Structure 1
Amino acid sequence: MDSLSTGVIVVDKNLLVEDLNPAAENLLGISQSRAYGQPLLQLIGDDKELADILHRSLATGSAYANELRLAPTEVHADERLVDCRVSQMQQPDADASLLVEMTDVTRRTRISKENALIIQHGAGRQMIRQLAHEIKNPLGGLRGAAQLLERQLDRDELKEYTSVIISEADRLAALVDTLLGPGGPPNKRPVNIHELLEYVARVVEPDLGERLTIIRDYDPGLPLFSLDSDQMVQAFLNLVQNAARALEGHGTITLRTRAEINFTIGDTRHRVVASIEIEDDGPGIPVELQDSIFYPLVTSRTDGTGLGLPVAQELISRHGGLIEFESRPGCTGFQVRIPLLDNDEQTNDE
């Protein structure tokens, strides 16, 4: 068992640990000597589904499988996803014991999910551009008609209405131009990511109300790196506003930044990426929408446009980054990962 990459744990009929191999020690964050005689369920956070299949396997002698989430430990800072298989071991003249096999599939699952997001973004981008063309065509006519009408009006108070129509047509045209994609590369310059987040917070805080708060959890060690400030502000603004709407005036939004080492985005492995997370403690994204929220026009709100997340993903992708998310009731987090170095800089540095 010592050479296996799969974690193997043997428990007795009372679900007390009798033996485990090094891979299981690493998964559970505990040595064999410390784990011996301890309840397995206690070591993994009293998972109810695992408890159920352990008892069923003891009762029936059949094998069962399930997917588990292992909580962070002293060894592992993040939650891990594990494939678990339970089977009964029959030994002559001995009570039945169980063999529990655990395989860490966190990275495989993340890569699969990331690839799905990239595919979704490509399809979403095409849909956005088609939609943008459909919107842009009548905007010119609307603006021209408003200008002609304005020339026929002799009262300034009436001209104010045509001015609103013209300005809103211009605003929509600018938005459509953004949706259609950049005419050139982003206008990058060295920026402090925390200053951009603080600007976004100042924009949204007046509308939050007294019962909704923003918590900052910034990594002061993040350096300046090259970004298009306007595009980044728009992307973060979309994410924060989505979080605020989900909370409906009551709850907490956390803005968190970290640096992550040797992180893969798509097919490219980056030495260092900035991770910016917008987290809320709201009800979570409906399960039926989680596989499609980055498609245009997908929204759970009756007054939503379904464009905020696709646009944010598009803007982040222009910087070689990606937005991922995890959501469950009480905790929804959108993680924005952006390379701290351009590909050319990484190549030269290596």
Structure 2
Amino acid sequence: MAAAMDYKTILDSLTTSVLIVDSNLGIRYLNPAAENLLETSLTRTLGTSLGQLLLETDEALDTLVSGIRTGQTYTRREAEFVLLSGNRLIVDYSVSPAGQEANQVLMEIQPRDRLLRISREEDMLTQQETTRTLVRGMAHEIKNPLGGIRGAAQLLDRELSDDGQKEYTQVIIAEADRLRGLVDRMLGPNRALKMAQTNIHEVLERVRTLLEAESRGKLMFRRDYDPSIPEFPGDKEQLIQAFLNIARNAMEAAFEHQCSDKATEFPTITFRTRALRQFTIGQKRHRLVARIDIIDNGPGVPPELLQNIFYPMISGRACGTGLGLSITQSIIGQHHGLVECESEPGKTDFIIFLPLEETA
């Protein structure tokens, strides 16, 4: 009995998720790390089938049963587990005989989501910096000749006495100003952030109020706020602009979907906030981070656009400029945060991560 207690104590102290499963895939043991990872408890799952806890493929479960019967040890890389809550996990897991116990195996599970996400975010941040450098270079090359064209048109306008001819120079000046404005918007905000203690829910409520006025009651809002999120250093007006760009896109997508034959729900936007502890953005670990989800029930972002939607001039709408999300990414980047997008038909989720502590 003492040996058994020592064995359980050792497994309970591990940070690696450990399960013991019998030949019928019945769960015999979960350590606390596994309970946390799989969002359940040993009391609730003891004796239930692993297939009821993890919506794994039949092929993977058959391989597990075969491993139990033969006592064969094997490892599977980057397997996808779907929990009963609907959350998806990417994990590596190893299966080996459970000591002297017949027809039982020990599963060791290592979550890979965090490492994969960090790698993906590092690539995204690198791409964004490359894009900003490219845009700044292009803006410089475009604005210089535009200034010359505008100046020459102004000089010509002063020399002309015919109003009909002056109309052409005014067109040149107006178009040069329009292009200059477009380039300035591509560069994003051109003023330093005015940092002050900011409440993220005040920002979201301002955005909601603006969209309610624009939609005139034709848009439903759902709010799922975490009241524990503290105030943080931020530029409130800039953040309102960033979130408004995303939410306005979500509203337009929901309205477009409502006009299609596939629409089954009222146009809806969900605002959700959560506090995340010890969270990594890029290569930096933060003690506390706010996760903000802006979710719409529109048709979804086309797969061919999903990886590029934060680049300037990329838009999924015929009337879009493709600058809103690029500006949003720039503002959030100035706050040392990150914006991601997950999309499928009927659900598009823009996920914003913002550090909640002072960042140098």
Normalised-by-shorter TM-score class: 0.7 to 0.9
Is 1:334–2:350 an aligned residue pair?
A: yes
SS at match of 1:271: strand
Which residue of structure 1 lines up, in the alignment, with residue 262 of structure 2? none
**Larger mean Cα displacement after TM superposition, 125-134 or 233-242:** 125-134
Q: How does 1:30-49 map to 2 (within 5 A)?
A: 30-32=40-42, 34-44=44-54, 47-49=55-57
The Cα of 1:227 is off from its aligned counterpart by: 3.0
The Cα of 1:170 is off from its aligned counterpart by: 4.3
Is 1:284–2:300 an aligned residue pair?
A: yes
Which residue of structure 2 lines up, in the alignment, with residue 265 of structure 1? 281
Work out whether residues 197 and 231 of structure 2, in 8 Å CA contact, stay in contact via their aligned partners in 1.
yes
Which residue of structure 1 lines up, in the alignment, with residue 340 of structure 2? 324
Is 1:111–2:118 an aligned residue pair?
A: yes
Q: Distance in 2 between matches of 1:249 and 1:162?
A: 44
Which residue of structure 2 lines up, in the alignment, with residue 180 of structure 1? 187
Q: Distance in 2 between matches of 1:17 and 1:81?
A: 19
Any unmatched runs of 5+ in structure 2? Answer: 1-6, 259-266
Q: Distance in 1 between matches of 2:161 and 2:335?
A: 47
Q: Distance in 2 between matches of 1:265 and 1:9?
A: 30
Which residue of structure 1 lines up, in the alignment, with residue 79 of structure 2? 67
Work out whether residues 238 and 308 of structure 1, in 8 Å CA contact, stay in contact via their aligned partners in 2.
yes
Q: How does 1:65-104 map to 2 (within 5 A)?
A: 65=76, 67-71=79-83, 79=87, 81-85=89-93, 100-104=107-111
How many residues are aligned here?
A: 333
Work out whether residues 219 and 268 of structure 2, in 8 Å CA contact, stay in contact via their aligned partners in 1.
yes
SS at match of 1:128: helix
Structure 1 vs Structure 2 CA RMSD: 4.2
The Cα of 1:37 is off from its aligned counterpart by: 1.6
Work out whether residues 53 and 84 of structure 2, in 8 Å CA contact, stay in contact via their aligned partners in 1.
no
The Cα of 1:238 is off from its aligned counterpart by: 2.0
**Change over 3 Å in CA distance of 1:131–1:12 after alignment to 2:** same
Work out whether residues 291 and 353 of structure 2, in 8 Å CA contact, stay in contact via their aligned partners in 1.
yes
Work out whether residues 4 and 23 of structure 1, in 8 Å CA contact, stay in contact via their aligned partners in 2.
yes
Is 1:233–2:240 an aligned residue pair?
A: yes
Which residue of structure 2 lines up, in the alignment, with residue 17 of structure 1? 27
**Change over 3 Å in CA distance of 1:287–1:29 after alignment to 2:** same
Which residue of structure 2 lines up, in the alignment, with residue 213 of structure 1? 220
The Cα of 1:111 is off from its aligned counterpart by: 1.8
Is 1:306–2:316 an aligned residue pair?
A: no
Q: Distance in 2 between matches of 1:230 and 1:15?
A: 55
**Larger mean Cα displacement after TM superposition, 309-318 or 299-308:** 299-308
Superposition TM-score, scaled by structure 2 size: 0.71
The Cα of 1:119 is off from its aligned counterpart by: 1.1
Which residue of structure 2 lines up, in the alignment, with residue 243 of structure 1? 250
The Cα of 1:254 is off from its aligned counterpart by: 1.5
Q: Distance in 2 between matches of 1:199 and 1:167?
A: 34
Which residue of structure 2 lines up, in the alignment, with residue 132 of structure 1? 139
Specify the code of the residue in structure 1 equivalent to 2:37. Answer: L
Q: How does 1:183-194 map to 2 (within 5 A)?
A: 185-194=192-201
Work out whether residues 313 and 322 of structure 1, in 8 Å CA contact, stay in contact via their aligned partners in 2.
yes
The Cα of 1:82 is off from its aligned counterpart by: 3.6
- Counterpart pick for 1:28 among 24, 28, 38: 38
Work out whether residues 265 and 321 of structure 1, in 8 Å CA contact, stay in contact via their aligned partners in 2.
yes
Q: Distance in 1 between matches of 2:212 and 2:150?
A: 33
Work out whether residues 294 and 309 of structure 1, in 8 Å CA contact, stay in contact via their aligned partners in 2.
yes
Work out whether residues 53 and 86 of structure 1, in 8 Å CA contact, stay in contact via their aligned partners in 2.
no
Which residue of structure 1 lines up, in the alignment, with residue 359 of structure 2? 343
Any unmatched runs of 5+ in structure 1? Answer: 345-350
**Larger mean Cα displacement after TM superposition, 117-126 or 209-218:** 209-218
**Change over 3 Å in CA distance of 1:128–1:205 after alignment to 2:** farther
**Change over 3 Å in CA distance of 1:146–1:231 after alignment to 2:** farther
The Cα of 1:144 is off from its aligned counterpart by: 5.1
SS at match of 2:123: helix
**Larger mean Cα displacement after TM superposition, 136-145 or 104-113:** 136-145
Q: How does 1:152-167 map to 2 (within 5 A)?
A: none
SS at match of 1:343: coil
The Cα of 1:166 is off from its aligned counterpart by: 6.0
**Change over 3 Å in CA distance of 1:287–1:322 after alignment to 2:** same
**Change over 3 Å in CA distance of 1:172–1:64 after alignment to 2:** same
**Change over 3 Å in CA distance of 1:165–1:79 after alignment to 2:** farther
**Change over 3 Å in CA distance of 1:174–1:297 after alignment to 2:** closer
